[in-house]
Structure 1
């Protein structure tokens, strides 16, 4: 057994110092306690990180072929419903009458106090994994194509619009402007002030925050055009087998007031949502380190901490020697008997 212990000791990367060659001090004890405390703290943090996992963000080329998706809309426009015309036109020049699936409900125009009104939507943050998992309640609008109380001064427009998965434009204009129509809205009756409760792409998750949610514009210009430009990125959230497949989008916007020439505006007033789809996909997934990798990482960190603690303590001792002298440093150390000088003293005392 002793021979086996000697063979193992030869492979020790950190050979131990014999106890008779070491001394103890208050500073050394305090250093040991601090190193042990830091080590336990790091172990606690690493174990918590291992159990809780980490969030991995990846961008990949979106190789999934999609032919269509839906645009979810819930907004209020400060004009009667019978004055409004809604339409979708994509890059292939295909048109879809959004009014066939959207719902129009006459109501009074209000601006909720918590909405971001007449400000640029530049404070939107990408929802994190915890927020998405808490708010991932999928829903659908219960009605489609309904028209209620159209004579009211404002119009509540809500519903889902099926569109092709290509670059397109969803817009809200006044009848008789931009499209030929039997009715014509007087220019003085135009008012494209609006508030947006929901504007999203794909499956409808009403509690997930989007850049246009809870925003709006107020204006007194009848011939104004509001344009929103959205870059849509498919996004997949995944945690413990739960998958939320949705879409995020970045947003830029501008507005333009048209002039009146020959009693006709020089452009088309309205609200325009222009969208395009990026060829990439964002994957946000919760992962955990493999157990063997976790143990190796933990051992590496603790070993490095012990080595660093030793170096720092020796550096501290040398600084004290330079500043206060060797006598000050030695007075706190434990005094041990032994060694050549002590043996010579003992022999001299015995001979006397």
Structure 2
């Protein structure tokens, strides 16, 4: 035991000084207070960093490609009455959803360019399909005329289930669309006149009403487009057409100026702090002022995203980036970029072209530091400050000694 003590003393890194040999100075007290303040500040920063939540992104192949994709949309057309346009979805598989109002989306009337809804009653879309054009007479035995858009046999011997009848204005409108005939506002068509459709539409045109479309729907998770275009639409034999007759009838009315109040894919991802983790690059995007014959295109790259929260259940949603483009239908050189020549033709409207990425991003929430990292950071901060304080105190003490010695001389 006696032999071991000298060996331990020789490796003691914390040698002690005699209490009587210690000298306390005012400058040392000031430096000590400064060190305490700096240490407290650094410990507070370490604690904030320890409790800070970060997202750790990981890129994987999307295995849920067969799940439907939710589209959330809120868009305002200040210069276009609700009855003048349809909303369709087409995808590269050849599937189409024509006039999807009432299938998750609703139209609301607005007036004088005001984005506030005129009334709470939505403007209903056309729920009819082409199969209903072959419907027989109504319950009263009446078989309405389709005005030449469909072949109708006037022979009473024809069974009711084989008669083609247009008993209301919407059916006539759909029959005209199937025939690719111009419908205009339905003026002169008995069914539309009797229902008050013509008068109501003309009043809304004169009042310069606009329209706001809001809602959510599901689509296939494959590339395609969602678009707003004038008139009734019809898809068949590899083409998709719209009836532009009423839109073109008034040269000084109607255009596709619009404000995108909100556009997203999937549910909102709200984090622990109550903030939306998603970016919405098209929210509050506004285009006003171009000509009537104009095409607006948005090219969206959609990426599936999964958010894994610390205390909440995981959430699967989507994020997207966007490139915007617009051009006049007349084509020609761009007014702002003379080296750019636009294509000619097309139909006026707003088109959202979406491309689905095969990859998926997983954002996992975690604390910025572990408990051991926090403790190590605190110890390092305290040791570093004390070391700097000791060096500073010695420097000040040495300087004071030199000054006193010069005064004594």
In the alignment, what sits opposite 2:108?
105
Q: Does 1:287 align with 2:288?
A: no
In the alignment, what sits opposite 1:275?
354
How many Å separate the matches in 2 of 1:228 and 1:329? 81
Superposed CA deviations along residues 152-197 of structure 1, whole A, max 9, x for unmatched, are 4322222212112222211111127884356733422441011222
Name which of 314, 326, 346 aligns with 2:402: 326
How many Å separate the matches in 1 of 2:298 and 2:30? 63
Deviation at 1:110, TM superposition (A): 2.5
**Alpha-carbon spacing, 1:213–1:3, altered in 2? closer, same or farther (3 Å):** farther
**Alpha-carbon spacing, 1:145–1:16, altered in 2? closer, same or farther (3 Å):** farther
How many Å separate the matches in 2 of 1:250 and 1:162? 20
In the alignment, what sits opposite 1:135?
none
How many Å separate the matches in 1 of 2:311 and 2:269? 20
Q: Is the 8 A contact 2:301 2:322 kept in 1?
A: yes
Superposed CA deviations along residues 26-53 of structure 1, whole A, max 9, x for unmatched, are 2122112211221122223323443x33
Please, what TM-score do these two structures have when normalized by structure 2? 0.60
In the alignment, what sits opposite 2:231?
175
In the alignment, what sits opposite 2:246?
185
How many Å separate the matches in 1 of 2:3 and 2:311? 51
**Alpha-carbon spacing, 1:36–1:253, altered in 2? closer, same or farther (3 Å):** same
Name which of 314, 323, 347 aligns with 1:252: 323
Residues matched between the structures, number? 295
Q: Is the 8 A contact 1:198 1:214 kept in 2?
A: yes
Map residues 20-59 of structure 1 onto 2, 5 A cutoff: 20-50=20-50, 52-59=51-58
Please, what TM-score do these two structures have when normalized by structure 1? 0.68
Deviation at 1:224, TM superposition (A): 0.8
How many Å separate the matches in 2 of 1:61 and 1:271? 33
In the alignment, what sits opposite 1:159?
215
In the alignment, what sits opposite 2:193?
none
**Alpha-carbon spacing, 1:288–1:221, altered in 2? closer, same or farther (3 Å):** closer
In the alignment, what sits opposite 1:238?
309
SS in 1 for 2:309: strand
How many Å separate the matches in 1 of 2:320 and 2:5? 65
Segments of structure 2 that go 5 or more residues without pairing to the other structure are: 127-196, 234-238, 333-343
Q: Is the 8 A contact 2:108 2:122 kept in 1?
A: no
Q: Does 1:229 align with 2:299?
A: yes
How many Å separate the matches in 1 of 2:324 and 2:13? 64
In the alignment, what sits opposite 1:133?
none
Name which of 290, 299, 312 aligns with 2:379: 299
**Alpha-carbon spacing, 1:284–1:144, altered in 2? closer, same or farther (3 Å):** farther
Q: Is the 8 A contact 2:82 2:211 kept in 1?
A: yes
Superposed CA deviations along residues 239-272 of structure 1, whole A, max 9, x for unmatched, are 42354443332232121112189xxx72222101
Deviation at 1:315, TM superposition (A): 4.5
Map residues 110-149 of structure 1 onto 2, 5 A cutoff: 110-111=113-114, 146-147=124-125
In the alignment, what sits opposite 1:75?
75
Q: Is the 8 A contact 1:196 1:215 kept in 2?
A: yes
CA RMSD of aligned residues (A): 4.0
SS in 2 for 1:302: helix
Q: Is the 8 A contact 1:176 1:184 kept in 2?
A: no
Q: Is the 8 A contact 1:99 1:145 kept in 2?
A: no
Deviation at 1:80, TM superposition (A): 2.2
Q: Is the 8 A contact 1:229 1:252 kept in 2?
A: yes
SS in 2 for 1:15: coil
